[in-house]
Amino acid sequence: MALNATIFKAVLQIADMDRGYYQDHTLTLARHPSETDERMMVRLLAFMRHAHEALIFGKGLSSDDEPDLWQKDLTGAIDLWIDVGLPDEKRIRRACGRATEVAVYSYGGRGVDIWWEQTADQVARSTNLTVINLPSSATQSLAKLAQRTMQLQCSVQDGHIWITDADRTVEVELLTLKVPVG
């Protein structure tokens, strides 16, 4: 018998000083049975960083053809493709060919360093790719914020994200491994 996804609800108040974006969002997240709280919260962090009314969660782990998050325009063209974790270079190159902008949010400590050493040269020519490394300590702290019902405040400024619930604040420094060229 297949296990069902666990449903999480999140009410977000986002203040993104870098983009001048100030909105509230009510989201429903489905956590795949094999997904950790840490990965789910990194997906939520990526949403906070790129928040937009058209940004939605994809099928993620259960589909190879969809990203973790994406934003499409009214014609169905993909404006933004976001992957979480350590995707292989073929997946990244395919995403760069399909979307106007691609962002990868990597996490996992030393594993990221090894993955990036193997991947960097193969994706170097991708002009629409951003790769962000999230510190292990920050993503583990984010995982502790995971609740079935969450109310979170998010502030984004100068490459830092602060996420606060009723009891604690987690600061995440975005460490950029690659920026778009052009």
pLDDT at position 57 is: 94
- Please give the full DSSP string across the chain, using - where no structure is assigned: -PPPPEEEEEEEEEEETTTTEEEEEEEEEEE-TT--HHHHHHHHHHHHHH--TTEEE--GGG-SSS-SEEEE-TTS-EEEEEEES---HHHHHHHHHHEEEEEEEEESTHHHHHHHHHHHHHHTT-TTEEEEEE-HHHHHHHHTT--SEEEEEEEEETTEEEEE-SS-EEEEE-EEEE----
- What is the architecture, at CATH level 2, of domain 6-178? Roll (3.10)
Mean confidence (pLDDT) of the chain: 94
Return the percentage of the chain with pLDDT > 90, whole number: 89
How does pLDDT run across 147-172, given as a tens digit for each residue?
999 999 999 999 899 999 999 999 99
Domain ranges in the chain are: 6-178
